Amino acid sequence: MTRNEQGAFPTDIYLSSVSSLYQHRRALVIGMLSHVVTFLLVFLKTSDAFYLGCAVAIVIIWTLRNLDMRRFDREDFSHADRMIVRRWENRYIVGGIGVTLTCGLTCGYAIAVSQDSFAELACISVTLASMISLVGRNYGSERAVLLLSSSACLPIVMGLITLGDPYMLVLAVLILPFIFTTWKMANNVRAFLYDNVLAAREIRSINGQFDAALNNMTHGLFMLDGDNRIVVANERACELLKLGDKAETKDVLLNEVLRRGAREMTLDAEKTATMVRRLDLLLKGKRSRALVPVSEDFFLEFSASRRESGEIVLIFEDVTARVQAERQILQMVRFDTLTGLPSRDYLFELAHNAVAGEAVPDRDIGLLLIDVAEFKHVNDTRGHVVGDKLLQSIAERLKDVAGSGAIAARLMGDEFVVFFPNKENRPDLDERIRDVHVRMRGAYEAGGFTFYMTMSSGFVIARSSAFRFEDLQIKADLALAETKSRERGGCTAFEAEMDARYLDRQKLKSDLREALKSGALSVSYQPMFTPDGARVECCEALARWTHPERGPVPPSVFIQLAEEMGLVTEITCFVLRQACRDCSTWPAGVSVSVNLSVLDLRDRQIVEMVGKALHETGLNPARLHLEVTESCLMDEPAKGQSLLHELRERGMTLAIDDFGTGYSSLSYLDALPVSIIKIDRSFVRNIRDDARRFKLLCSAVNLGRALGLKAVVEGVETLDELQLINDYRCADLIQGFVFSAPMPASAIRDLCKPRVRRRNAKASRSQIA
């Protein structure tokens, strides 16, 4: 039995057991009559008034108990606590003791006083008969059984003891186990009934919880027997299939229920048969799930689980939202959200189906890549909203120009692609592709603006039998790259030489990566002299790569490759550390200059890199010059300027390289913490014959000096150029072949020796003279 924390049964069960005491009152009437009749008979036999008094007492007690029981019937126990129930139990016990004690006293009186055999037999018989029914009637109260049996038997024991007969004494003792046995039997009955009451209540609770859970499921549920008849159905199942009352589905075959639901949902015969067929495969274990399209906007998904008993639990749910979301996701994956054109992956699928899915003989197919020239300028000047509208206009024209015989798609950004399946096997595919390119050029309206756009294109034509989309795209991309390098706005067909150049370039990239890993790069230095050639003030560090097979690779080639590969920062790091190490061995008055690329100024890594190189070599930060070009500041000028200010605060000297070749030189002179400007070679070339060019050189130098900047003139190669620069004092430092070509670090140390500097200066002055 399950008791509460106080060791007692729950109040509702306690009330139920006490209520059982007040039931079956007909037995009380029969008991009362039997007692009264017996006592009256004994009175008639013995003429002893005691027995008449006992009969009257029984009637009075029964009357009082009957009135009390009627009060119990009228009592409201809906909010009764344990104390109230206990009080009614005590009232019942008091009434019962009144009856049993009266019977016990008549027995004891008959044994000890009357000593009449009939009186003894009659009284004891009726009392023990009452004791037999005591268990069946009063099992609900442990105290009632014990007190009532004791109050009936103890007077008999006392009567037997008073006789003084040893045999009667033994008989009196034997009555005591009878009391215990009666009490124990009642306890067993009560325990058994309590266990069943608790179990029944728990079962009802579990059934209620199960029924609530079953009917509040978001899934529909059928439990089927071995014959596919519905044993259990929840309300959600009937709601999804429009079956009405779930009780009407019990013991009905599943197929009949499905057909009834199909009629309610007005499904045609074909959809009904499809639903039944798919569920039949599911129930037979041939499928793990079954998706049933009830209508265009209503889908059900079924799953089945078979139990060892042969029963099947069929669960299904409304997956309309999921199916629609999957369709939307598929649409988003397959089509570009901005232009509505197929995406690259879906284009691959469409192209493959167009080539492999048709029984057409081997033919030419084509792939055209289109890049919108100067599109970034539109975004920068008119904003991305206008830029997006322009892309939409371009996509609309592309679909119209390509026609139904081709598949147009958007690759990414401002790149589009057109695949030509050429199912009609036309021989003029080359002309058709070029015509698409030509028709794509021209005016576009977007966001209230008119744009005149040009397109750079590359295409490839191949046989359908050799179709591989990846190969076609690579070759068209190579042709597009060729267009951009040769003729912006043109259209170039792929040629085999492009592939060879591409492979060669990829091989060179791989070799460069390996050279960086193995430390095969080196650093040379080109000195910057005072205009008279008497002193070296700084040396520019230049990365060099000697390929084991190709020989020296120009910096303009491998630096561009490094930028494409994202390795230029590694080269900067190598040059920076080597330059600081070499400079630390030069005389204290000689500095070293290192170039920074546009990629170096995109995060704070360059600041940490410079600090680490200076710390490792012990070089004074004032001896390190950092050169940047104006292009380094075009993408993210605020971030680049912030990094340069931080480097300047750490003691480094900053210089603008190739000054005068960019778009905003004057504005950067004011915004950047630079100390040096390096005049590009284009201002020096042919200055003796071109007076206008020479005036530009003088103006740039004078402007820098007016701002307190030192001017370094690069690319001075002839004595005639050097003399003219010196005559007009157009340079603070000279860098060029007129004094020295790039050289190793050891040669710089020799060059900085006093006697070498004096000899070089004397030679320069004599040559100028």
What DSSP string describes 563-613?
Answer: HHHT-HHHHHHHHHHHHHHHHTTS-TT-EEEEE--TGGGGSTHHHHHHHHH
Mean pLDDT of the region 310-319: 83
Please tell me whether residue 342 adopts helix, strand or coil conformation. Answer: strand
- pLDDT attached to residue 359: 57
Angle 758-759-760 (CA atoms, 0-180°, nearest 5)? 90
Residue 308 lies in a domain: yes
Calpha distance 503→498 (Å, rounded)? 9
Whether 83 has a pLDDT exceeding 80, the answer reads yes
Res. 30 pLDDT band, cuts 50 70 90: confident
Per-residue model confidence as pLDDT tens digits over 390-420: 999 999 999 998 888 889 998 888 899 999 9
82 versus 309: the higher-pLDDT residue is: 82
Residue 462 sits in the same domain as residue 382:
yes
What percent of the chain stands above pLDDT 90? 23
Res. 668 pLDDT band, cuts 50 70 90: low
Residue 752 sits in the same domain as residue 644:
yes
Among the ranges 54-58, 217-221, 308-312, which has the highest mean pLDDT value?
A: 54-58
Residue 214 lies in a domain: no
Torsion of CA 45, 47, 50, 53, to 10 degrees: 90
Whether 5 has a pLDDT exceeding 50, the answer reads no
Instruction: Tell me which residue of 240, 244, 271 sits closest to 279, measured CA to CA.
Output: 271
DSSP letter assigned to residue 744:
-
- pLDDT attached to residue 231: 81
Mean pLDDT of the region 43-63: 90
- pLDDT attached to residue 273: 82
What's the Cα-to-Cα distance from 504 to each of 320, 510, 511, 519, rounded to whole Å? 54, 10, 10, 22
- pLDDT attached to residue 755: 45
Residue 16 sits in the same domain as residue 125:
yes
Residue 681 lies in a domain: yes
- Which of these three, 301, 325, 349, is where a domain ends? 325
Res. 6 pLDDT band, cuts 50 70 90: very low
Instruction: Tell me which residue of 555, 552, 530, 558 sits closest to 542, measured CA to CA.
Output: 555
Residue 203 sits in the same domain as residue 224:
no
Instruction: Tell me which residue of 555, 562, 625, 632 sits closest to 590, measured CA to CA.
Output: 625
Whether 25 has a pLDDT exceeding 80, the answer reads no
* Residue 664: alpha-carbon gap to chain centroid: 46
- pLDDT attached to residue 357: 60
Whether 636 has a pLDDT exceeding 80, the answer reads no
Whether 425 has a pLDDT exceeding 50, the answer reads yes
Res. 136 pLDDT band, cuts 50 70 90: low
- pLDDT attached to residue 700: 87
- pLDDT attached to residue 334: 82
Per-residue model confidence as pLDDT tens digits over 272-285: 888 888 888 888 87
**Range of lowest pLDDT (349-358, 509-518, 537-546, 699-708):** 349-358
Res. 3 pLDDT band, cuts 50 70 90: very low
Residue 50 sits in the same domain as residue 106:
yes
The position carrying tokens 């499921």 is 217
CA atoms within 13 A on the CB side of 478: 20
Single-letter residue type at 759:
R
Burial track 466-504 (b if 16+ CB lie within 10 A, e otherwise): ebebeebbbbbbbbbbbbeeeeebebbbbeeebeeebee
Whether 545 has a pLDDT exceeding 90, the answer reads yes
Calpha distance 8→18 (Å, rounded)? 14
Res. 218 pLDDT band, cuts 50 70 90: confident
- pLDDT attached to residue 522: 94
Calpha distance 409→399 (Å, rounded)? 9
Q: Kindly give, in sequence order, each residue whose CB lies less than 8 Å from that of residue 136, ignoring residues fewer than 6 positions away.
A: 189
Whether 215 has a pLDDT exceeding 90, the answer reads no
Do the beta carbons of residue 354 and residue 421 sit within 8 Å? yes
- pLDDT attached to residue 470: 86
Residue 680 sits in the same domain as residue 591:
yes
Per-residue model confidence as pLDDT tens digits over 606-617: 899 999 999 999
Calpha distance 107→168 (Å, rounded)? 14
* Tokens describing residue 278: 């798919």
Mean pLDDT of the region 286-310: 81
Q: What is the CA radius of gyration of the chain?
A: 55
Whether 17 has a pLDDT exceeding 80, the answer reads no
Res. 593 pLDDT band, cuts 50 70 90: very high
Do the beta carbons of residue 539 and residue 748 sit within 8 Å? yes
- pLDDT attached to residue 27: 75
Residue 506 lies in a domain: no
- pLDDT attached to residue 576: 95
Calpha distance 172→162 (Å, rounded)? 10
Mean pLDDT of the region 117-129: 87
Res. 735 pLDDT band, cuts 50 70 90: very high
Beta strands in 406-453 (DSSP E): 407-412, 415-420, 442-446, 449-453
* Residue 451: alpha-carbon gap to chain centroid: 42
Residue 242 sits in the same domain as residue 176:
no
Residue 315 sits in the same domain as residue 340:
no
Residue 213 lies in a domain: no
Range of the domain at 384: 335-494
Whether 765 has a pLDDT exceeding 70, the answer reads no
- pLDDT attached to residue 213: 63
- Which of these three, 325, 353, 381, is where a domain ends? 325
Residue 503 lies in a domain: no
- Which of these three, 207, 232, 260, is where a domain ends? 207
Burial track 704-719 (b if 16+ CB lie within 10 A, e otherwise): beeeebbbbbbbbeee
Instruction: Tell me which residue of 130, 129, 116, 126 sits closest to 159, measured CA to CA.
Output: 116
Whether 57 has a pLDDT exceeding 50, the answer reads yes
Residue 460 sits in the same domain as residue 529:
no
214 versus 562: the higher-pLDDT residue is: 562
What percent of the chain stands above pLDDT 70? 90
Do the beta carbons of residue 82 and residue 14 sit within 8 Å? yes
SS (H, E, C) 143-207: HHHHHHHHHHHHHHHHHHHHCCCHHHHHHHHHHHHHHHHHHHHHHHHHHHHHHHHHHHHHHHHHH
Calpha distance 96→68 (Å, rounded)? 12
Instruction: Tell me which residue of 271, 323, 277 sits closest to 297, measured CA to CA.
Output: 323
* Residue 677: alpha-carbon gap to chain centroid: 53
Residue 553 sits in the same domain as residue 603:
yes
Mean pLDDT of the region 114-137: 82
Mean pLDDT of the region 17-44: 83
Any idea what the CATH number is for the domain that residue 277 is in?
3.30.450.20
- pLDDT attached to residue 4: 42
Calpha distance 418→407 (Å, rounded)? 5
Residue 161 sits in the same domain as residue 49:
yes
Mean pLDDT of the region 230-247: 81
Do the beta carbons of residue 580 and residue 617 sit within 8 Å? yes
Counting the structural domains of the chain, the total is 4
Any idea what the CATH number is for the domain that residue 752 is in?
3.20.20.450
* Average pLDDT across the chain, whole number: 84
Residue 393 lies in a domain: yes
Residue 96 lies in a domain: yes
Calpha distance 256→250 (Å, rounded)? 12
State the greatest distance between any 2 C-alpha atoms of the chain, in Å, as a whole number.
176
Per-residue model confidence as pLDDT tens digits over 169-212: 888 888 888 777 777 777 776 676 676 666 667 777 666 666 66
Residue 387 sits in the same domain as residue 471:
yes
Res. 100 pLDDT band, cuts 50 70 90: confident
What's the Cα-to-Cα distance from 604 to each of 338, 541, 550, 622, 696, rounded to whole Å? 35, 22, 36, 20, 36
Calpha distance 275→264 (Å, rounded)? 14
